[in-house]
Amino acid sequence: MIETPYLLFLGDAPDQLAAKVAQGIRDWRPENAVGQFRLDGCKADLGLPDMTLEQAKATGVKTMVIGVANRGGTISAAWREVLVAALEAGFDLASGLHNLLRDWPDLVRAAEANGRTLHDVRIPSVQYPIANGEKRRGKRVLAIGTDCSAGKMYTALALDKSMREAGQKSTFRATGQTGILITGDGVPLDAVVADFMAGSIEYLTPDNDPDHWDIIEGQGSLYHVSYSGVTLALIHGGQPDALILCHEPTRTHMRGLPGYRLPTLEQVRDTGLALAKVANPDCKVVGVSINTQHMSEDEAKAYCAKVEAEMGLPTVDPFRHGAARLAAALEEI
Amino acid sequence: MIETPYLLFLGDAPDQLAAKVAQGIRDWRPENAVGQFRLDGCKADLGLPDMTLEQAKATGVKTMVIGVANRGGTISAAWREVLVAALEAGFDLASGLHNLLRDWPDLVRAAEANGRTLHDVRIPSVQYPIANGEKRRGKRVLAIGTDCSAGKMYTALALDKSMREAGQKSTFRATGQTGILITGDGVPLDAVVADFMAGSIEYLTPDNDPDHWDIIEGQGSLYHVSYSGVTLALIHGGQPDALILCHEPTRTHMRGLPGYRLPTLEQVRDTGLALAKVANPDCKVVGVSINTQHMSEDEAKAYCAKVEAEMGLPTVDPFRHGAARLAAALEEI
């Protein structure tokens, strides 16, 4: 569990896209994002107050989060100087970079000297159990996609927001690095050892109130041969009561696999539901989320209407249209 | 790659079953098993010559394999005394125990001092790639089960033996600890990090002659919620041309999951084949392997005949009837 609120470190980000982790925190947990810290030449701006470490401390910040991708597979000396100063100022550090904070002796020394914690969220910090398959109280919904990077995390976060706004009880359950940094907790599923994947998701989504929904962040796709095993572990460990299908209509092949065509939404519905029923015979497919970022407003509306008619399920782009109709569909379960 | 041949260490095995890893090596790779080493009180016997370390050395042994389960979650001082002596005699050590050899300083010291290798086959020794899904030359067959421990490894080893005897080109590809110790090589799939599971199976089954078969050892089951993700990674990383269905008919529930009933063979066929076709559209289900160990000879015959009629596929217990009919079915692909 990463302590909040955060100061978002943007470093020397070459553009806004490089700071997308920080942007995600700002968009989805604005209450956690009290300020930004930028180095000379930073081209990203979250519209948050630029703060010195002293100002952040005075505002109650607990953790400095690295909200930017690094370059060249290293953590530069310029970055480390700031990170050491942040540890000395009494902040924990959190990072989802492939280069681990814990591999830098200067950071380890400063953390130890100041009693601070280095959170490398790419690496599990828990010894997860093997899944026992037992039924848990409370409800769970999982987004499954025709492909990787089809909008599953965005869909889950938007759904969580809509449900909270509607007064429903819900918790976004992160299974990837960005989601973990946004919420401060979760399972870095892609780094979990094979035997413990499903168990890690059981651990992530424990017993809860009967009317509480865990919104589980999806990963991969049953049809993406590189990561399909991770997706199935999510389905069987998560025991979802509801599935939402995610799709990005302009893809010409599976992400990173030029020889693989996308499955249809019908295929994902049928395969996903049959497998989900192994763990939860009452599971239902409740809606479709379309990522229409590469379509015009009219195209997006028409495409969603067409899918809605074909599938007989509420179909929205949660970014354009909000997730209220998906939240409403869950209310009916 | 573990160097052969082996001296099989049986320690103080309380019964024959405790030495089942050694028994597997003796049954399937008798040419690798030149002798056994037993401590006082050992109740297991493989029918191999009992050898001193000196005798084993003279016979050309390269590696001492721990072929017995340990007790109490430790490697006892009595064992370690022998293991250190084996390293000093010039043997490598290989073990599939949960307690790693490398965690014992006396073993590490003796290995370093004598230039020997400690093989802990539970832990991957390779940084596997992420799967790229590209088509590989040569053919592959995978056994998938209605449940865990339904006879998949036995089926694969028996099939490999039948194919070699029939002059077909085949290689058994181990994906678990016992299989790795039997053959000296393989991928400990249950210990591979999630993102690299499918890639590890691509690595295990590379390009080969067009008429060569990799016989891939199966793991878990698509219907076993604790391990199903591992099974799907095998299916998508292995790109099988052929599937063999494995079943143990007397199970009343999924292994370790009292609340879960077994799927039917038809369900495993349909679900497994549909998922396999994502990676290899030409994949076919070619046969059924029944584990009839809890049935009489007559019951076993009748059961296999019934399944053969229902499924329209060659159905055998490879232990009782041999795997020749399964090997013949592969010839037709």
Separation of CA B144 from chain center: 13
| Residue A2 DSSP SS3 | coil
| Residue A173 DSSP SS3 | strand
* A197 touching chain B per CB within 8 A: yes
- Inter-chain residue contact B194 with A195, CB threshold 8 Å: no
Tokens of B144: 């998938």
Checking if the pLDDT of A70 tops 90, the result is no
Indicate the residue type of B71.
R
- Inter-chain residue contact A198 with B133, CB threshold 8 Å: no
- Give residue A219's pLDDT: 97
Please report, to the nearest 10 degrees, the dihedral formed by the alpha carbons of residues B94, B99, B102, B104 taken in order: -120
**What residues in B contact A191, CB-CB < 8 Å?**
193-195
Task: Indicate the residue of A132, A191, A228 with minimum beta-carbon distance to B233.
Answer: A228
Task: Indicate the residue of A197, A236, A260 with minimum beta-carbon distance to B194.
Answer: A197
- Inter-chain residue contact A230 with B231, CB threshold 8 Å: no
Task: Indicate the residue of B194, B254, B279 with minimum beta-carbon distance to A194.
Answer: B194
- Give residue A3's pLDDT: 97
Band of pLDDT at residue A248, cut at 50, 70 and 90: very high
Checking if the pLDDT of A73 tops 80, the result is no
Nearest-by-CA chain A residue for B226: A131
According to DSSP, residue A32 is labeled G
- Inter-chain residue contact A226 with B198, CB threshold 8 Å: yes
Mean pLDDT taken over chain A: 96
Give the DSSP H or E segment for A9.
strand A6-11
Can you give the pLDDT of all 333 residues of chain B as single tens digits? Answer: 999 999 999 999 999 999 999 999 999 999 999 999 999 999 999 999 999 999 999 999 999 999 998 877 789 999 999 999 999 999 999 999 999 999 999 999 999 999 999 999 999 999 999 999 999 999 999 999 999 999 999 999 999 999 999 999 999 999 999 999 999 999 999 999 999 999 999 999 999 999 999 999 999 999 999 999 999 999 999 999 999 999 999 999 999 999 999 999 999 999 999 999 999 999 999 999 999 999 999 999 999 999 999 999 999 999 999 999 999 999 998
B92: Cβ contacts below 8 Å, ≥ 6 apart: B2, B3, B62, B63, B64, B116, B117, B118, B119
Contact A150, A221 (CB under 8 A): yes
- Inter-chain residue contact B260 with A133, CB threshold 8 Å: yes
- Least confident interval from A5-19, A23-37, A63-77, A104-118: A63-77
Tokens of B109: 């010291």
Q: What does the pLDDT look like over A112-142, one tens digit per residue?
A: 999 999 999 999 999 999 999 999 999 999 9
**What residues in A contact B256, CB-CB < 8 Å?**
132
Chain A closest-CA separation from residue B59 CA (Å) = 39
* B135 touching chain A per CB within 8 A: yes
Nearest-by-CA chain B residue for A193: B193
Rounded CA-CA distance A300/A297 in Å is 5
Task: Indicate the residue of B190, B191, B228 with minimum beta-carbon distance to A232.
Answer: B228
- Give residue A124's pLDDT: 95
Q: How far is CA A178 from CA A184, A228, B233, in A?
A: 10, 20, 24
Averaged pLDDT, A99-109: 96
- Give residue A120's pLDDT: 97
Nearest-by-CA chain B residue for A230: B229
- Inter-chain residue contact B226 with A271, CB threshold 8 Å: no
Chain A closest-CA separation from residue B244 CA (Å) = 20
Task: Indicate the residue of A225, A237, A279 with minimum beta-carbon distance to B198.
Answer: A225
Nearest-by-CA chain A residue for B255: A132
Contact A287, A325 (CB under 8 A): yes
Task: Indicate the residue of A134, A193, A231 with minimum beta-carbon distance to B193.
Answer: A193
- Inter-chain residue contact A275 with B133, CB threshold 8 Å: no
B184: Cβ contacts below 8 Å, ≥ 6 apart: B1, B2, B3, B4, B32
- Inter-chain residue contact B132 with A226, CB threshold 8 Å: yes
**What residues in A contact B197, CB-CB < 8 Å?**
194, 229-230
Question: Chain B interface, mutation test: which of A278, A280, A283, most B Cβ atoms within 10 Å?
Answer: A278
Contact A147, A255 (CB under 8 A): yes
Indicate the residue type of B295.
M
E strand segments, B32-182: 33-38, 63-66, 92-95, 118-120, 139-145, 169-173
Band of pLDDT at residue A29, cut at 50, 70 and 90: very high
Checking if the pLDDT of A167 tops 90, the result is yes
* B132 touching chain A per CB within 8 A: yes
Rounded CA-CA distance B98/B134 in Å is 34
Task: Indicate the residue of B195, B227, B279 with minimum beta-carbon distance to A195.
Answer: B227
The candidate with the shortest Cα–Cα distance to B214, out of B280, B181, B170, is B170
Tokens of B327: 């090997």
- Inter-chain residue contact A226 with B199, CB threshold 8 Å: yes
Please give the share of chain A, as a percent, with pLDDT higher than 70: 100
Band of pLDDT at residue A13, cut at 50, 70 and 90: very high
Q: What is the pTM of this model?
A: 0.94
Question: Chain A interface, mutation test: which of B140, B146, B222, B226, most A Cβ atoms within 10 Å?
Answer: B226
Question: What residues of chain B, 205 to 244, have a C-beta less than 8 Å from chain A?
Answer: 222-223, 225-233, 236-237
Nearest-by-CA chain B residue for A134: B259
Contact A146, B278 (CB under 8 A): no
Task: Indicate the residue of B135, B223, B232 with minimum beta-carbon distance to A229.
Answer: B232
Checking if the pLDDT of A206 tops 90, the result is yes
